[in-house]
Structure formats: C-alpha cells, structure tokens
Amino acid sequence: MVTTLRALRGRGTMGLTELAARAELSRPTVEGLAEELLSLGWLAEEPPETGRMGRPRRLFRFRAEAGHVLGVDIGAHSVRALVCDLEGRVVGRFSTRVRADSGRADRLNAVRDTAAAALEEAGAGAARVMAACVGTTGVVTAQGVVRLSVGLPEWTGIDLAAELAGDLGPVVLVENDTNLAALAEQWTGVAEGVQDLLFVLSGVRTGAGMLIRGEVHRGRRGMAGEIGALPLVGWHRAPSHLAGFGGLPAGTPPEEAAGLALSAARSGDPAARWAVEQYAHDLAEGIAALVLAMDPDLVVIGGGVSRSGDVLLEPIRRHLDPLCLEPPRLAVSTLGDQAVVLGALRHALNHVDAGLYDIDAPFPTPKDS
C-alpha cells in the first residue's frame, strides 16, 4: 500500500496502468491495493474517462483533503499560522500582532487564537489536524521544551508541546525557528534541492539553522548554530549597529529600526551606510565561523533584513569572503517573514509522511472519515 500511495502522491489523477508502472507492481495487484486505500479513505476515485474504446478507465487520486497540517511561527511581535492540506496547498492563514513584552500566558493565548482563526478559515477544526508544528526562538529540546530563550519574556523552560497539545491537535511538534526557516528554503525557497544548507536569520536578532544531508541538524542538545554565544565573533553586537543608527526618528520601535537604517543606506545616507558596513562586518564573522565549521552547499540570508538584500549582500560578501578558505555560495531569502511558518508546515507534513510511509507501523486513519 505504501508503494502505491507513494506512486500516486503529488501527481494528480492517475489510471491503473500508469500507477502499476510507477509502483513497479502488476496491474491486478495495484488495483487490489488501490481498492484497499479507497476503503481506508486515502484515495478517491474520479469519474472514469469516457469516449474511449474498451472498458472505462478507472482514475484515482490521493485524497489531499484526508487531513490538514498546521504551522505556527511564534515571533516577538507577531504570531502567524498557516493550514494546508496533505499536498501542501495552503487553505487557511491568520496572523496576530503581539507586544514584544507579552508574558507567557498572553503569548500562548495569541498562539491558540491565531491557530483557531487559521483553522476556521480552512473550514477545519483541531480534530482534523494530523500534525501541528510550532516554531519558536531559543534552544528547543527533542521533547519540545524551550530550554533557553533570550528573545521572549518568560519563555525559558516552557513546555510548548504540552501547553498546546489539546488546542492545536493530537501531535504538536516544537522546533527552533531558524531550523524551520532552513527547511522552508529547501522546500519552496532559494535552496530547492540543497542538501547542506546554512540559514542565517538576521534582523533584530541573529541566529542560524542548518540542514545536513537534507535534514535539520539540531545537535545533541538542540544547540547547533548558536555561534552567537561566542563573543570572539560579532553576532552579539551586530544588530546594535542598525538599531543604534543615529538618523532614526525618536521613538522608532526596535523592530523597525533595521529596515529604516537599510532604507537610508539605500538612499545614500553616509551614517546609515556606515551602520550597514559595521553590521555586515559583524554578521560576516559569525557566518564565516559556521561556513568554516560545516562547509555548506549554500548560505541563505533571511529574516527581517532579507527585504534589503540589494543593500546588504555586497558588503556581507566583501567581509565574508576573505574570512573563508573559498567564497561560499550566498543567496538572500525570498520568503521574507513567511519562512518560519512555511517551514513549520513542511515539518508537520514530513511527520505525516513518515507515518504514511512507515511500513512497520499501522496505517494511519484519515481525519475526515
């Protein structure tokens, strides 16, 4: 059944001859398996093709609507949620602004409300969610506990998997947000097909996520990519150059400072250009350490500043290349502020796939039958 499901998945509607060829099984065997998957609710049969000679041609498709997955990005200033079907088509979305100084309870409520609103747009309840994934800043354990977070108040120690289990569905995965962004770049961003990927989140804070041989590399304690903790390289001071740029209007919120400084640099403001130069210098130090450590296929710069790739890429490259043995491949994310929530969707889909494709486990039940 797994072979038949794999052969059909993501390929639209298919007749038995093609299905048998793709699954490398005989036609009668594939027909039997398709019948079984039909009765389980994982396949649908479309009206047969008419107007042809011989018996009508039976057509099958994977029931992408057999369940949903939910992705959530818990940020300092916002919570974003996306719902998609099992082929990855987005069918619901919602975002909520939150205050950066929100405490644990308020932020958790925003997560629950945002997820519920996205599910409502999808016409689905939490009971239809086959897997949910929540992305958060900080060091996340394999059990879904935030072991250390400097970015969000009252966040260190929170057991997100347990807090959200009832509200977001039966399976709530928790993952570091930069790791999810790396997954998203590989899925649908500038890193399609890349196996060893370094994703650098830059903006109000700086962080890194990585894929090795196509999979998220978390490290033993979920601490891979935390080069910002090493004061010898400049990540700890990098954001201050943009946030402290003197040309900002009084009272500029910190989350807008970087964008304004980069805009001013684009317009040729000398002080802003100097701030960007300093920022690129310090960012490059940490990127160089990670590039020298893992030698990735590609480095993707994402996060808030990725909208200003035209201003940033050249100085980053100029500071980075001399620090590396050979210049690494460098690209700017095109997913913008959607990278983390898209990565959360992909991570949840991967979890569903692992269940569907696990030949040693009982076959899962669709959520709509």
* Residue numbers at the binding site for a second copy (CB under 8 A): 139, 148, 196, 212-213, 215, 217-227, 229-230, 232-233, 285, 288-290, 292-297, 323-326
- Helix, coil or strand: residue 324: coil
Smaller CB separation from a second copy, 293 or 354: 293
Smaller CB separation from a second copy, 230 or 361: 230
Smaller CB separation from a second copy, 233 or 316: 233
In whole angstroms, how close is the CB of 209 to a second copy at the nearest point?
12
Element (H, E) at 43: strand 43-49
In whole angstroms, how close is the CB of 329 to a second copy at the nearest point?
8
Task: Please provide the size of the chain in residues.
Answer: 369
In whole angstroms, how close is the CB of 19 to a second copy at the nearest point?
23
In whole angstroms, how close is the CB of 306 to a second copy at the nearest point?
22
Smaller CB separation from a second copy, 19 or 289: 289
In whole angstroms, how close is the CB of 286 to a second copy at the nearest point?
9
**DSSP H stretches of helix in the chain:** 2-8, 16-23, 27-40, 104-121, 160-168, 177-188, 238-243, 254-266, 270-294, 309-320, 339-357
Instruction: Calculate the alpha carbon distances from 334 to 34, 186, 268, 302 in Å.
Output: 39, 12, 24, 8
Q: Following DSSP, what letter does each residue of 109-161 receive, concatenated?
A: HHHHHHHHHHHHHTT--GGGEEEEEEEESSEE-TTSBEEE-SSSTT-TT-BHH
Smaller CB separation from a second copy, 139 or 242: 139
Smaller CB separation from a second copy, 114 or 179: 179
Give residue 246's Cα distance to chain centre. Answer: 34
Backbone angles phi, psi at 181, to 5 degrees: -60, -40
Tokens linked to 148: 């250390």
In whole angstroms, how close is the CB of 300 to a second copy at the nearest point?
14
